[in-house]
Amino acid sequence: MDAQEANLVEKKNLRRLELSWELDSESESQEKVEKVFEDLQPHSNLENLKIQGYKGVKFPVWMDYQILSNVVSITLSACENCRQLPPLWQLPRLRYLTIIDLINLEYIDTSFQGERKFPSLEGLFIDGLPRLQRLSRQDESELFPCLMKLEIYDCPELTTLPCLPLAKSLVIYSCNGELLKSISHFKSLTYLELLTNYDLVYLPHGMLQNLSALREMYIGNFKKLKRFATDRVSLSGLKWLTISECPELEAFPEKVLEGLNSLQKLTVGMCIKFSNLSEGLRHLSALEILNLDGCPELVTFPNGIKYLDSLRELTICGKPSFYFTYSYYPKLTILPEYEELVILQECREVKGSSAQFMQIYRSREVGQSYITSIWTTLLAIAHALWLMIRIRPQVVLCNGPGTCIPLCVMGVGWSSVFYVESIARVKRLSLSGLLLYRLHIADQFFVQWPQLQRKYPRAHYVGCLM
């Protein structure tokens, strides 16, 4: 059956249409591919459209407001030859737009000034657009008037964002300093997630200004970040703050902490040079939970911690090395006075620890041959069985190393297994995660990237967890 015989334009009940081009379609001429796509015009009752792997240069002329007037969701993926989008900004009911791996795309909107662009769009997800320069070629004042959620992944040439008055959630992966300067214009923002930067030593001056509505912020994998800017920030509404995998970060300036008087949860994780919480900690009068995870340079706690009347949980968690001989808190020897609040995990050198630590045999070392790993896996399973029988845990919580597989397998039947995929897994699961997912071993399976949840629908995405 050819495209015309499909006669999609007459199918009034068609609500969802997915069109995918296989790899062998590359041998066909662009003219033929574009002609086939043109002949697949759907009825105007269509609501959801997904296009993947299209090899043509131009999108069909029917992708405009007349035919797609009822469409609410569009996904464009791996249309590598397309340099320009159809006039999607005209669609009156479009609420969700996803654009992935359009490697030649330079602008989302190429319309002229004066038009109201994307009038109903609420969510925009863009990933893998290496040539994207701006969201709009022209004036951006009327762009995305209703947008509430924006996610940007791997768009290295994007250096500015328009003012989005209603935006509530912003996620940027692989961000540059120029792009971060635009964040201060997002005055309604409640959730901010910034991931992966290899150049910035300081966050841009003024980036955190005007964000009084912000409730949750996550900053992770900024490889050279040493300090936050020392300018006073206005984050009076911030409730949760997580700083993770910033190996050069040394301390929080007191001026930064002064503006966080509503903060309820503070997490600092895997910041190996972090040594000072600063006396500004005393300004966190609403702080209830303080988590420190893998900060080996931390020596002591500031006196200001005794003024935190709302604090109910202080977790100090170390990450042991492969051979379980090194504590990640070698310099921290004294805990705060109120030890009843302290939860210690993998911190054997910290005074006052009553936790038990047990070595779990690895199923396979990195680089180990698969033949010899058969015997080490059997040994790990036997050891895991002994531990599970001895401890009988109610819950097994794990996040990716090969040691977790025997424990999870042995825990089936008497333990609830919760698996949290590593934050480093952005587009595909680890081998451990894939096994637990395919075999249905985990009772609850969590991923830390939304695109993973879309690829593995039984997984849950609730933001960054660890």
Share above pLDDT 90 across residues of the chain, in percent, rounded to a whole number: 36
Higher pLDDT, 327 or 242: 242
- The DSSP result for 270-288, as a single string, is S-TT--B--GGGGG-TT--
Residue 287: predicted pLDDT: 93
C-alpha distance from residue 178 to each of 41, 57, 199 (Å): 41, 31, 12
Among candidate residues 64, 68, 75, the one with its CA nearest the CA of residue 45:
68
CA-to-CA distance for 156 and 432, rounded, in angstroms? Answer: 31
Structure-model confidence comparison of residues 393 and 192, the more confident one:
192
Model pLDDT, residue 179: 92
The residues facing 76 across adjacent strands are 51, 99
Q: 229: pLDDT confidence band, cut at 50, 70 and 90?
A: low
Return the number of other C-beta atoms located less than 10 Å from residue 10's C-beta: 9
pLDDT at residue number 465: 64
Closest to 21 (Cα-Cα) out of 42, 49, 52:
52
What integer pLDDT is reported at residue 242 of this predicted model? 93
Range 45-66 average pLDDT: 93
Asked if the 3-345 domain carries CATH number 2.60.40.10, the reply is: no
pLDDT of residue 398: 82
Q: Residue 326's pLDDT is what? A: 32
Please count the CA atoms within 13 angstroms of the CA of 282 that sit on its side-chain side: 6
- pLDDT single digits (tens) 165-189: 899 999 999 888 889 999 988 999 9
Are 303 and 280 in contact by the 8 Å Cβ rule? The answer is no
- Secondary structure string (H, E, C) spanning 221-268: EECCCCECCCCCCCCCCCCEEEEECCCCCCECCHHHHHCCCCCCEEEE
Question: Residue 395: is its pLDDT beyond 60?
Answer: yes
Better pLDDT: 308 or 326? 308
What is the per-residue burial (b if ≥16 Cβ within 10 Å, else e) of 86-119?
bbbbbbeebbbbbbbbbeebebbbebeeebebbb
* Per-residue model confidence as pLDDT tens digits over 407-445: 787 777 677 888 898 887 887 888 888 888 888 888 889
Asked if 47 contacts 70 with a C-beta cutoff of 8 angstroms, the reply is: yes
pLDDT at 149: 96
Tokens encoding 100? 């992935």
Q: Check whether 340 has a pLDDT greater than 50.
A: no
Residue 351: is its pLDDT beyond 50? no
Q: What is the pLDDT of residue 100?
A: 95
- The gap from C-alpha 315 to its chain's centroid, in whole angstroms, comes to 23
Task: Identify the top-confidence range among 20-34, 143-157, 198-212, 218-232.
Answer: 143-157
Q: Please state the domain extents for the chain.
A: 3-345, 370-461
- Interatomic CA distance for residues 91 and 118, integer angstroms: 7
- State the Cα–Cα distance between residues 103 and 80, nearest whole angstrom: 6
Whether 4 contacts 35, CB under 8 Å: no
Q: What is the pTM of this model?
A: 0.72
C-alpha span between 105 and 54 (Å, rounded): 14
Q: pLDDT per residue over 274-305, tens digit each?
A: 888 888 888 898 999 888 887 888 877 888 78
Computed over every residue of the chain, the mean pLDDT equals 82
Q: Are strands 73-77 and 48-52 parallel, antiparallel or unpaired?
A: parallel
